[in-house]
Amino acid sequence: MSLLSIRNLQTEFRGPAGIARAVDGVSFDVNPGEIFGIVGESGCGKSATCRSILRLFAGATARIVGGEVILDGSGDLAAMREADLARVRGRDVAFIFQDPLTALNPTMRIGKQVAEIIRRHRQVSRSAARAAALELLRDVHIPSPERRLDAYPHELSGGLRQRVVIAMALALAPRLIIADEPTTALDVTVQDQILRLLKERRDRNGTSIIFITHDLGVVSQVCDRMAVMYAGRVVETGTVRDVLDRPSHPYTRALLDALPGQGGRDRDLVPIEGSPPGLIAPPPGCRFAPRCPFAGPACTQGMAPPLHPRPGATADHLDACILTEVPHAPA
Amino acid sequence: MIQVIFKRLLMLVPVLIGITLIGFLLLQVMPGDAAERAMGTRASAEELADMRRLWGLDLPIWQQYLLFLRDCLTGSFGVSIFHKKAVIALVGERLPFTLAIVALSTLIALVIALPFASLAAMRRDRPADHVIRQAFVVLIAMPPFWLSYVLILWLSLTLGWFPTGGVGQGLAENLHRLFLPSLVVGLSTAALIQQTLRAALIDTMKADYVDTARAKGLRRHEIFLRHILPNSLISTISIIGVRVSWIIGGTVVVEKIFSVPGLGSLLIDAIVSRDLPVIRGLTVFFAIMVVIVNLITDILYALADPRVRLE
């Protein structure tokens, strides 16, 4: 039984240029205790997908227009009333945002911001919440946490701030943590510490994590299973080993070929020509077809192809390419 | 903190020298003779000359300026030709009423602006927002003298809730009497604050930390009251500061209509009677007030936003 099951999710963003379907028929499952990676380039809908889970759309006028987000034991989050969803947020499903510099309220002390989430979901006194906040800061290895409780966010480094954000996410021991590029804004050494922190939490508490990133290296380092997204759709999904070692979709292969130092091979990098299609009026057929070196006439017709397994591949290794035989990239 | 305040007050010195110079020279250009105004048209040439000698009006300009500087330094700011009193004493009599209008009108403005700005921001670009915007535009467009008379007719004469003007004894009575003039001043302040605060609220609502607050599971009102509103109010502090500086000397029309002996009407009366020492003294006093209000604004700003340090 999966912890989170997303089925045919569709989310639209209304902008001045029109309505963009940033998430268009996305499905995947996250199992208990699993770290699930979502990769793709900017604007592919990976962030929009995850924000749709908790309906956190910031100031944007976004709306889930179809599909289900089934959280085990809580039901369909997409159909839930806002007030009911607010009880799930932070308690069952927590969210870690990309930029720790802006994710904390600049005029509120750290301790209060951490204690706030505890007091929202549990009936505890102010001092008990503060003590719990101190414990949480210690859990995420913040040095001299007593002193940080009364600090303001701007007095902390980016890495420490991201730890505070993570401390808030861990506060109520949620079953699922959604981390939206949590290390992108941090430098490499801090990145590594944050990744280890999240992994440590999973290993200790069996917390599931959805990890959004554009860094395939990070995915292979921390994730168990993954999905590759392109133009609002999942084009390939499976275990990290299957997808990265035996990619079957041309886009996944192109991504890997564009990556330096993959597998220690010494070779030329191959850029992906062109740019992703607009989502207001996406092209018919496979959305990657216009950039795909192997695309045939059938690729640009009809509906976007669904995910399907390939003969001989692992059962949960799916991709959305209609070609029966995808040749390796021309050298 | 104390050091910074002291430094800022020290910076007053060059500002004040400039103000005294400009204020003094501009008054030299002003037509009309102070002695004639004070003595009336039937005074003889001799009497006028005596008057000029008595008040130092016959001295060379640079000497008059130095005398004025001396008065500023000794704290009297000169002696009123019309009232025969130190300017600082006149200011002392009238400042409480002006400050009462400042405080009361700002309070009224906040009480009006806060809920309407919040409502407009939450219902952005929807009918409620448009209605509120139009209502406040009308409010800004209403001239204070007209608004004053409408309020007098309605709240004083028809309903009898407030006196039509004047001041009385004691704090309670004066607050009651100063309510209508404060309301007139406060309504346009409210319009100003509403617009600024609405924009600030809409801006803050898009902030990442508001999404963080939602991700924590906080309820709508908790997010608004704890995260959105406090951060948005910070940007209105400076608007209120500018407005308060203006109210201190700029409410002449309202003071006149409601017979409030405030600083604005003192200045106008002095100009009409060519009471040069009062005009000069008030110019300097207003300059000091503007600097002090700015300093208070900056201190409040630093207190409200931990990222801002007083410099």
Q: Is the pLDDT of residue A262 over 60?
A: no
Per residue in B236-264, pLDDT (tens digit) is 998 999 889 888 877 888 888 888 888 88
Question: Would you call A104 and B212 a contact, using CB atoms and an 8 Å cutoff?
Answer: yes
Token pair for B266: 């003192």
Task: Judge contact between A38 and A210, C-beta under 8 A.
Answer: yes
| CA contacts within 13 A on the Cβ side of A245 | 8
Q: Is the pLDDT of residue B285 over 90?
A: no
What pairs with residue A13 in β-bridges?
Answer: A20, A62
Report DSSP state, residue B207: S
A170 touches chain B (CB under 8 A): no
* Same domain for A233 and A219: no
Question: Would you call B211 and A56 a contact, using CB atoms and an 8 Å cutoff?
Answer: yes
Distance in angstroms (rounded) separating the CA atoms of residues A246 and A317:
10
* Same domain for A96 and A218: yes
The reported pTM is 0.82
Examine residue A248 and state whether it is found in any structural domain, yes or no. yes
* Same domain for A195 and A309: no
Token pair for B2: 């104390």
User: Among residues of chain A, what percentage have pLDDT more than 90?
Assistant: 50
- CA distance readout (Å), A5 to A42, A72, A215, A238: 24, 8, 24, 15
* Same domain for A207 and A123: yes
User: Nearest CA of chain A to the CA of B221: how many Å?
Assistant: 11
What pairs with residue A63 in β-bridges?
Answer: A12
Instruction: Please indicate whether residue B31 or residue A56 has the higher confidence score (pLDDT).
Output: A56
User: Nearest CA of chain B to the CA of A50: how many Å?
Assistant: 12
What pairs with residue A69 in β-bridges?
Answer: A6
Q: Give the pLDDT score at A331.
A: 40
Q: Is the pLDDT of residue A159 over 90?
A: no
* Same domain for A19 and A66: yes
CA proximity to A231, closest of A165, A277, A172, A163: A277
CA proximity to A63, closest of A21, A96, A102: A21
Q: Which residue from A minimizes the CA distance to B205? A: A59
The whole-number average pLDDT for the span A295-309 is 86
Local confidence band at A242 (pLDDT 50, 70, 90 cut-offs): very high
Q: Is the pLDDT of residue A148 over 90?
A: yes
Question: Which residues 123-152 of A are in CB contact (within 8 Å) with B?
Answer: 152
Instruction: Please indicate whether residue A137 or residue A269 has the higher confidence score (pLDDT).
Output: A137
Q: Which of A171, A189, A223 is the last residue of a domain?
A: A223
Q: B-chain residues within 8 Å CB-CB of A91?
A: 217
A97 touches chain B (CB under 8 A): yes
The whole-number average pLDDT for the span B38-55 is 77
Helices of type H across chain B: 2-10, 12-29, 34-39, 45-55, 61-74, 87-122, 127-141, 144-151, 171-177, 179-205, 208-215, 220-223, 229-250, 252-257, 263-272, 276-304
Instruction: Please indicate whether residue A84 or residue A277 has the higher confidence score (pLDDT).
Output: A84
Instruction: Please indicate whether residue A66 or residue B31 has the higher confidence score (pLDDT).
Output: A66
Q: Is the pLDDT of residue A58 over 80?
A: no
Q: B-chain residues within 8 Å CB-CB of A120?
A: 216-218, 222
The whole-number average pLDDT for the span A192-207 is 88
* Same domain for A14 and A161: yes
Of B208, B210, B231, the CB nearest to A107: B231
CA proximity to A316, closest of A29, A1, A69: A29
CATH code that applies to domain B97-304: 1.10.3720.10
A155 Cβ contact list (under 8 Å, min separation 6): none
User: Nearest CA of chain A to the CA of B308: how many Å?
Assistant: 10
* Same domain for A283 and A219: no
Most confident of A188-202, B45-59, B158-172: A188-202
Element (H, E) at A13: strand A4-15
Question: Would you call A106 and B227 a contact, using CB atoms and an 8 Å cutoff?
Answer: no
Task: Judge contact between B86 and B78, C-beta under 8 A.
Answer: yes
Examine residue A329 and state whether it is found in any structural domain, yes or no. no
Question: Would you call B305 and A106 a contact, using CB atoms and an 8 Å cutoff?
Answer: yes
Q: Work out how many domains chain A is built from and give that number.
A: 2
In terms of residue numbers, what domain contains A52? 4-223
A328 touches chain B (CB under 8 A): no
* Same domain for A286 and A176: no
Least confident span in B3-7, B80-84, B263-267, B307-311: B307-311
* Same domain for A268 and A156: no
Q: A-chain residues within 8 Å CB-CB of B226?
A: 108, 116
A271 touches chain B (CB under 8 A): no
User: Which CATH number do you get for residue A96?
Assistant: 3.40.50.300
A120 touches chain B (CB under 8 A): yes
Q: B-chain residues within 8 Å CB-CB of A108?
A: 226-227
Of B206, B231, B306, the CB nearest to A152: B306
Q: A-chain residues within 8 Å CB-CB of B212?
A: 95, 97, 103-105, 165, 168
Least confident span in A225-229, A230-234, A319-323: A319-323
Q: Is the pLDDT of residue B173 over 60?
A: yes
Local confidence band at A267 (pLDDT 50, 70, 90 cut-offs): low
DSSP strand pairing (A176-180 vs A93-96): parallel
User: Nearest CA of chain B to the CA of A84: how many Å?
Assistant: 9
Q: A-chain residues within 8 Å CB-CB of B209?
A: 102-106
Distance in angstroms (rounded) separating the CA atoms of residues A94 and A97:
10
Of B206, B213, B218, the CB nearest to A59: B206
Q: Which of A195, A223, A251 is the last residue of a domain?
A: A223
Question: Would you call B217 and A103 a contact, using CB atoms and an 8 Å cutoff?
Answer: no
CA proximity to B177, closest of B169, B167, B185, B186: B167
Supply the mean pLDDT for chain A: 88
Report DSSP state, residue A291: G
User: Nearest CA of chain A to the CA of B213: how many Å?
Assistant: 8
Per residue in B145-168, pLDDT (tens digit) is 888 888 888 988 888 888 877 777
Q: Which of A206, A223, A240 is the last residue of a domain?
A: A223
Q: Is the pLDDT of residue B40 over 80?
A: no
* Same domain for A269 and A174: no
The whole-number average pLDDT for the span B68-77 is 83
Length of chain B, in residues: 311
Most confident of B82-91, B228-237, B287-296: B228-237
User: Nearest CA of chain B to the CA of A83: how many Å?
Assistant: 7
Amino acid (1-letter code) at residue A122: R
Token pair for A248: 């079957």
* Same domain for A102 and A243: no
Supply the mean pLDDT for chain B: 86
Examine residue A158 and state whether it is found in any structural domain, yes or no. yes
Q: Give the pLDDT score at B274.
A: 82
Local confidence band at A261 (pLDDT 50, 70, 90 cut-offs): low
* Same domain for A257 and A135: no
Question: Which residues 8-67 of A are in CB contact (within 8 Å) with B?
Answer: 54, 56, 58-59
Q: Is the pLDDT of residue A71 over 80?
A: yes
User: Nearest CA of chain B to the CA of A100: how many Å?
Assistant: 9
Domain with CATH 1.10.3720.10 in chain B: 97-304
Probe site for chain A from B206, B209, B305 (most A CB atoms < 10 A)? B209
Least confident span in A21-35, B155-169, B172-186: B155-169
* ipTM of the prediction: 0.86
Examine residue A324 and state whether it is found in any structural domain, yes or no. no
Examine residue A328 and state whether it is found in any structural domain, yes or no. no
Q: Give the pLDDT score at B279.
A: 87
Amino acid (1-letter code) at residue A261: G
Helices of type H across A41-184: 46-54, 82-88, 110-121, 126-139, 145-149, 158-170
